[in-house]
Amino acid sequence: MKASILIAVKGANEHLKECLAHCLGQTHQECEVLVLPDAAFACDDPRVRIIPTGPRLPADKRDAGARHARGEVLAFLDDDAYPDKNWLASALALFAQDPQVAAVAGPAITPSDEPVRRRASGMVYESAAMSGSYRYRYAPAKRRMIDDYPSCNLLVRKEVFFKLGGFRTNFWPGEDTILCLGIVKGLGLKIVYDPAVLVYHHRRPLFGPHLCQIAGYATHRGYFVKRYPQTSRRWSYCMPSLFVVFLIGGPFLLPADLFLVLLGTYGLAVLLGSLHARRPGLIALTILGIITSHLTYGVFFLRGLFSPRLKEET
Protein backbone atom coordinates (compact mmCIF):
# COMPACT_ATOMS: atom_id res chain seq x y z
CA MET A 1 0.00 0.00 0.00
CA LYS A 2 1.42 3.37 -1.02
CA ALA A 3 1.02 6.53 1.06
CA SER A 4 1.27 10.18 0.08
CA ILE A 5 2.56 12.42 2.88
CA LEU A 6 1.08 15.91 2.56
CA ILE A 7 2.68 18.85 4.38
CA ALA A 8 0.97 22.25 4.20
CA VAL A 9 3.44 25.07 4.85
CA LYS A 10 3.97 28.76 4.14
CA GLY A 11 7.56 28.28 3.04
CA ALA A 12 10.88 26.57 3.74
CA ASN A 13 11.93 26.53 7.39
CA GLU A 14 14.07 24.53 9.82
CA HIS A 15 11.14 22.53 11.19
CA LEU A 16 10.18 21.49 7.67
CA LYS A 17 13.73 20.31 7.00
CA GLU A 18 13.57 18.14 10.13
CA CYS A 19 10.12 16.85 9.15
CA LEU A 20 11.27 15.86 5.65
CA ALA A 21 14.31 14.00 6.98
CA HIS A 22 12.07 11.82 9.15
CA CYS A 23 9.51 11.32 6.39
CA LEU A 24 12.21 10.07 4.06
CA GLY A 25 13.60 7.79 6.76
CA GLN A 26 10.42 5.74 7.21
CA THR A 27 10.76 1.97 7.48
CA HIS A 28 7.87 1.74 5.00
CA GLN A 29 9.48 3.13 1.86
CA GLU A 30 6.52 2.87 -0.52
CA CYS A 31 5.56 6.51 -0.12
CA GLU A 32 5.89 9.94 -1.65
CA VAL A 33 6.24 13.34 0.03
CA LEU A 34 4.33 16.39 -1.21
CA VAL A 35 5.14 19.81 0.24
CA LEU A 36 2.52 22.52 -0.32
CA PRO A 37 4.11 25.98 0.15
CA ASP A 38 2.84 29.41 -0.86
CA ALA A 39 5.62 29.73 -3.44
CA ALA A 40 8.14 27.31 -4.98
CA PHE A 41 11.52 26.76 -3.36
CA ALA A 42 14.46 24.49 -4.10
CA CYS A 43 14.64 21.02 -2.55
CA ASP A 44 17.72 18.83 -2.91
CA ASP A 45 15.94 15.49 -2.60
CA PRO A 46 14.19 14.23 -5.76
CA ARG A 47 11.82 12.15 -3.61
CA VAL A 48 10.12 15.36 -2.45
CA ARG A 49 7.65 17.11 -4.74
CA ILE A 50 7.15 20.83 -4.17
CA ILE A 51 3.68 21.93 -5.27
CA PRO A 52 3.15 25.70 -4.84
CA THR A 53 -0.43 26.61 -3.92
CA GLY A 54 -0.30 30.33 -3.31
CA PRO A 55 -1.17 31.86 0.08
CA ARG A 56 -4.13 29.68 1.08
CA LEU A 57 -5.47 28.18 4.29
CA PRO A 58 -4.10 24.73 5.26
CA ALA A 59 -7.37 22.99 4.33
CA ASP A 60 -7.20 24.37 0.80
CA LYS A 61 -3.55 23.41 0.50
CA ARG A 62 -4.27 19.85 1.57
CA ASP A 63 -7.15 19.59 -0.88
CA ALA A 64 -4.83 20.77 -3.65
CA GLY A 65 -2.12 18.31 -2.61
CA ALA A 66 -4.58 15.42 -2.51
CA ARG A 67 -5.38 15.99 -6.19
CA HIS A 68 -1.69 15.39 -7.01
CA ALA A 69 -1.27 12.41 -4.68
CA ARG A 70 -0.54 8.97 -6.12
CA GLY A 71 -0.91 6.99 -2.91
CA GLU A 72 -3.92 5.06 -1.64
CA VAL A 73 -3.60 6.77 1.76
CA LEU A 74 -3.21 10.49 2.39
CA ALA A 75 -0.97 11.11 5.41
CA PHE A 76 -1.41 14.65 6.77
CA LEU A 77 1.40 16.24 8.79
CA ASP A 78 2.13 19.73 10.04
CA ASP A 79 5.51 21.14 9.08
CA ASP A 80 6.42 21.56 12.78
CA ALA A 81 5.83 17.85 13.44
CA TYR A 82 8.02 14.90 12.48
CA PRO A 83 7.13 11.19 12.47
CA ASP A 84 8.62 8.22 14.24
CA LYS A 85 10.40 5.91 11.79
CA ASN A 86 7.60 3.30 12.08
CA TRP A 87 4.79 5.85 11.71
CA LEU A 88 3.66 4.81 8.22
CA ALA A 89 4.22 1.09 8.75
CA SER A 90 2.08 1.12 11.91
CA ALA A 91 -0.72 3.12 10.28
CA LEU A 92 -0.85 1.17 7.02
CA ALA A 93 -1.07 -2.12 8.93
CA LEU A 94 -4.32 -0.89 10.49
CA PHE A 95 -5.75 0.01 7.08
CA ALA A 96 -4.79 -3.42 5.73
CA GLN A 97 -6.45 -5.26 8.62
CA ASP A 98 -9.91 -3.76 8.21
CA PRO A 99 -11.49 -2.14 5.11
CA GLN A 100 -13.90 -0.29 7.43
CA VAL A 101 -10.99 1.71 8.82
CA ALA A 102 -11.17 4.97 6.87
CA ALA A 103 -8.67 6.96 8.93
CA VAL A 104 -5.89 6.39 11.43
CA ALA A 105 -4.41 8.76 14.00
CA GLY A 106 -1.86 8.71 16.79
CA PRO A 107 -0.35 10.85 19.52
CA ALA A 108 1.55 14.05 18.79
CA ILE A 109 4.00 14.21 21.68
CA THR A 110 6.34 17.02 22.66
CA PRO A 111 10.02 16.40 21.81
CA SER A 112 12.12 15.96 24.95
CA ASP A 113 14.72 18.51 23.81
CA GLU A 114 12.30 21.44 23.46
CA PRO A 115 13.25 24.77 25.10
CA VAL A 116 11.65 25.20 28.51
CA ARG A 117 8.70 27.41 27.50
CA ARG A 118 7.80 25.09 24.61
CA ARG A 119 8.24 22.08 26.88
CA ALA A 120 5.91 23.72 29.40
CA SER A 121 3.31 24.20 26.67
CA GLY A 122 3.54 20.49 25.94
CA MET A 123 3.16 19.70 29.64
CA VAL A 124 -0.04 21.75 29.70
CA TYR A 125 -1.52 19.75 26.83
CA GLU A 126 -0.35 16.46 28.36
CA SER A 127 -2.01 17.24 31.69
CA ALA A 128 -5.26 15.48 32.57
CA ALA A 129 -6.27 18.75 34.24
CA MET A 130 -6.15 20.45 30.83
CA SER A 131 -6.98 17.81 28.23
CA GLY A 132 -9.09 15.46 30.35
CA SER A 133 -10.26 12.44 28.38
CA TYR A 134 -8.48 13.81 25.27
CA ARG A 135 -5.03 13.48 26.83
CA TYR A 136 -4.33 10.58 24.46
CA ARG A 137 -3.80 13.16 21.72
CA TYR A 138 -0.63 14.37 23.43
CA ALA A 139 0.68 11.24 25.17
CA PRO A 140 0.57 7.59 24.07
CA ALA A 141 -2.51 5.71 25.30
CA LYS A 142 -4.28 2.47 24.46
CA ARG A 143 -5.76 1.86 21.01
CA ARG A 144 -9.35 3.08 20.60
CA MET A 145 -12.01 4.21 18.15
CA ILE A 146 -12.37 7.99 17.92
CA ASP A 147 -14.60 10.44 16.05
CA ASP A 148 -12.47 13.60 15.92
CA TYR A 149 -8.74 14.22 15.55
CA PRO A 150 -6.34 17.04 14.56
CA SER A 151 -4.73 16.90 11.14
CA CYS A 152 -1.20 17.23 12.54
CA ASN A 153 -1.19 13.41 12.58
CA LEU A 154 -4.08 12.04 10.55
CA LEU A 155 -4.05 9.46 7.74
CA VAL A 156 -7.11 8.97 5.52
CA ARG A 157 -7.93 6.61 2.66
CA LYS A 158 -7.84 8.72 -0.49
CA GLU A 159 -11.08 7.28 -1.86
CA VAL A 160 -12.87 8.23 1.37
CA PHE A 161 -11.32 11.71 1.35
CA PHE A 162 -12.63 12.40 -2.16
CA LYS A 163 -15.98 10.76 -1.42
CA LEU A 164 -16.45 13.42 1.25
CA GLY A 165 -15.26 16.15 -1.10
CA GLY A 166 -12.01 16.73 0.77
CA PHE A 167 -11.91 19.22 3.60
CA ARG A 168 -14.44 21.45 1.79
CA THR A 169 -14.06 24.25 4.32
CA ASN A 170 -12.28 27.50 4.99
CA PHE A 171 -12.36 26.90 8.73
CA TRP A 172 -8.97 26.86 10.40
CA PRO A 173 -8.57 25.35 12.86
CA GLY A 174 -11.51 22.97 12.69
CA GLU A 175 -11.38 21.59 9.15
CA ASP A 176 -10.26 18.25 10.57
CA THR A 177 -13.29 18.07 12.88
CA ILE A 178 -15.63 18.40 9.90
CA LEU A 179 -13.78 15.74 7.89
CA CYS A 180 -13.81 13.29 10.80
CA LEU A 181 -17.51 13.94 11.34
CA GLY A 182 -18.14 13.01 7.72
CA ILE A 183 -16.17 9.78 8.09
CA VAL A 184 -17.84 8.56 11.27
CA LYS A 185 -21.35 10.00 11.16
CA GLY A 186 -21.78 10.52 7.42
CA LEU A 187 -20.25 7.30 6.05
CA GLY A 188 -20.42 5.10 9.13
CA LEU A 189 -16.73 4.18 8.88
CA LYS A 190 -14.03 3.93 11.54
CA ILE A 191 -11.22 6.18 12.76
CA VAL A 192 -8.63 4.25 14.78
CA TYR A 193 -6.22 5.81 17.25
CA ASP A 194 -3.07 3.77 17.87
CA PRO A 195 -0.11 4.85 20.04
CA ALA A 196 2.36 3.36 17.55
CA VAL A 197 1.26 5.93 14.92
CA LEU A 198 3.50 8.44 16.62
CA VAL A 199 4.71 11.90 15.69
CA TYR A 200 6.66 14.52 17.62
CA HIS A 201 5.11 17.98 17.58
CA HIS A 202 6.95 21.19 18.43
CA ARG A 203 4.85 23.42 20.69
CA ARG A 204 4.26 27.15 20.75
CA PRO A 205 5.97 28.69 23.78
CA LEU A 206 4.13 29.82 26.87
CA PHE A 207 2.51 32.21 27.27
CA GLY A 208 1.51 34.44 24.34
CA PRO A 209 1.82 32.11 21.31
CA HIS A 210 0.42 29.16 23.27
CA LEU A 211 -2.62 31.12 24.44
CA CYS A 212 -3.25 32.52 20.95
CA GLN A 213 -3.46 28.94 19.71
CA ILE A 214 -5.81 28.01 22.56
CA ALA A 215 -8.02 30.99 21.71
CA GLY A 216 -8.31 29.84 18.09
CA TYR A 217 -9.21 26.30 19.10
CA ALA A 218 -11.79 27.53 21.60
CA THR A 219 -13.47 30.01 19.26
CA HIS A 220 -14.04 27.38 16.61
CA ARG A 221 -15.13 24.70 19.06
CA GLY A 222 -17.66 27.08 20.59
CA TYR A 223 -19.03 27.90 17.15
CA PHE A 224 -19.05 24.23 16.14
CA VAL A 225 -21.34 23.46 19.10
CA LYS A 226 -24.07 25.04 16.95
CA ARG A 227 -22.90 23.94 13.50
CA TYR A 228 -21.58 20.44 14.21
CA PRO A 229 -23.08 19.36 17.54
CA GLN A 230 -22.57 15.62 16.98
CA THR A 231 -18.91 15.83 18.03
CA SER A 232 -18.65 19.31 19.55
CA ARG A 233 -21.60 19.57 21.97
CA ARG A 234 -19.82 17.87 24.85
CA TRP A 235 -19.45 18.84 28.51
CA SER A 236 -15.67 18.59 28.37
CA TYR A 237 -15.54 21.49 25.91
CA CYS A 238 -17.89 23.59 28.05
CA MET A 239 -16.08 23.14 31.38
CA PRO A 240 -13.56 26.01 31.02
CA SER A 241 -16.42 28.43 30.27
CA LEU A 242 -18.30 27.19 33.33
CA PHE A 243 -15.12 27.83 35.32
CA VAL A 244 -14.99 31.42 34.06
CA VAL A 245 -18.65 31.91 35.02
CA PHE A 246 -17.89 30.40 38.44
CA LEU A 247 -15.01 32.83 39.02
CA ILE A 248 -17.13 35.82 38.05
CA GLY A 249 -20.40 34.89 39.70
CA GLY A 250 -19.30 32.58 42.50
CA PRO A 251 -18.31 35.27 45.02
CA PHE A 252 -21.77 36.82 44.69
CA LEU A 253 -23.96 33.72 44.36
CA LEU A 254 -22.28 31.18 46.66
CA PRO A 255 -21.48 31.21 50.38
CA ALA A 256 -17.89 32.34 50.86
CA ASP A 257 -16.74 29.09 52.45
CA LEU A 258 -18.25 26.99 49.65
CA PHE A 259 -16.68 29.21 46.99
CA LEU A 260 -13.24 28.88 48.65
CA VAL A 261 -13.59 25.09 49.00
CA LEU A 262 -14.46 24.73 45.32
CA LEU A 263 -11.63 27.07 44.31
CA GLY A 264 -9.21 25.12 46.49
CA THR A 265 -10.38 21.84 44.95
CA TYR A 266 -9.69 23.27 41.51
CA GLY A 267 -6.24 24.40 42.60
CA LEU A 268 -5.43 20.96 43.97
CA ALA A 269 -6.57 19.31 40.74
CA VAL A 270 -4.32 21.63 38.72
CA LEU A 271 -1.38 20.94 41.03
CA LEU A 272 -1.82 17.17 40.77
CA GLY A 273 -2.24 17.52 37.02
CA SER A 274 1.13 19.29 36.80
CA LEU A 275 3.34 16.89 38.72
CA HIS A 276 4.24 14.97 35.56
CA ALA A 277 6.51 17.93 34.73
CA ARG A 278 8.74 16.72 37.62
CA ARG A 279 11.10 19.70 37.86
CA PRO A 280 9.91 22.48 40.24
CA GLY A 281 10.35 25.28 37.73
CA LEU A 282 8.56 23.36 35.00
CA ILE A 283 5.80 22.38 37.41
CA ALA A 284 5.25 26.05 38.26
CA LEU A 285 5.09 26.99 34.57
CA THR A 286 2.69 24.12 33.88
CA ILE A 287 0.38 25.24 36.71
CA LEU A 288 0.27 28.79 35.38
CA GLY A 289 -0.13 27.48 31.85
CA ILE A 290 -3.11 25.31 32.76
CA ILE A 291 -4.88 28.11 34.63
CA THR A 292 -4.34 30.70 31.87
CA SER A 293 -5.31 28.12 29.23
CA HIS A 294 -8.56 27.37 31.07
CA LEU A 295 -9.40 31.06 31.30
CA THR A 296 -8.49 31.74 27.67
CA TYR A 297 -10.39 28.72 26.37
CA GLY A 298 -13.41 29.55 28.52
CA VAL A 299 -13.67 33.13 27.28
CA PHE A 300 -13.09 32.37 23.60
CA PHE A 301 -15.37 29.32 23.62
CA LEU A 302 -18.18 31.67 24.71
CA ARG A 303 -17.14 34.10 21.99
CA GLY A 304 -17.50 31.37 19.37
CA LEU A 305 -20.70 30.07 20.89
CA PHE A 306 -22.40 33.46 20.62
CA SER A 307 -20.89 34.45 17.26
CA PRO A 308 -23.49 34.38 14.46
CA ARG A 309 -20.71 33.71 11.95
CA LEU A 310 -16.95 33.24 11.88
CA LYS A 311 -14.91 35.33 9.46
CA GLU A 312 -13.53 32.23 7.72
CA GLU A 313 -16.98 30.84 6.92
CA THR A 314 -18.12 31.02 3.32
- Whether residues 237 and 272 share a domain: the answer is yes
- Whether 157 and 179 map to the same domain: the answer is yes
Is 158 in the same domain as 232? Answer: no
* Model confidence, pTM: 0.89
| 299 plus 194 within the same structural domain | no
CATH number at residue 92: 3.90.550.10
| pLDDT given for residue 96 in this prediction | 95
- Look at the chain and report how many structural domains it folds into: 2
Domain boundary among 180, 204, 228: 204
Q: Assign 3-class secondary structure to the chain.
A: CCEEEEEECCCCCHHHHHHHHHHHCCCCCCEEEEEECCCCCCCCCCCEEECCCCCCCHHHHHHHHHHHCCCCEEEEEECCEEECCCHHHHHHHHHHHCCCEEEEECCEECCCCCCHHHHHHHHHHHCHHHHHHHHHHCCCCCCEEECCCCCCEEEEEHHHHHHCCCCCCCCCCCHHHHHHHHHHHHCCCEEEECCCCCEEECCCCCCHHHHHHHHHHHHHHHHHHHHCHHHHCCHHHHHHHHHHHHHHHHHHHCCHHHHHHHHHHHHHHHHHCCHHHCCHHHHHHHHHHHHHHHHHHHHHHHHHHCCCCCCCCC
* 75 in any annotated domain: yes
pLDDT in tens, 75-106: 999 999 999 999 999 999 999 999 999 999 99
Domain-embedded: residue 121:
no
List the chain pLDDT tens, one digit each, 314 residues.
899 999 999 988 889 999 999 999 999 988 999 999 999 888 888 889 999 999 888 888 999 999 999 999 999 999 999 999 999 999 999 999 999 999 999 999 999 999 999 999 999 999 999 999 999 999 999 999 999 999 999 999 999 999 999 887 666 667 889 899 999 999 999 999 999 999 999 999 999 999 999 999 999 899 999 888 888 888 999 999 999 999 999 999 999 999 999 999 999 999 999 999 999 999 999 999 999 999 999 999 999 999 887 765 44
Residue 170 and residue 35 in one domain: yes
Range of the domain at 75: 3-106+149-204
Last residue of a domain, one of 162, 181, 204: 204
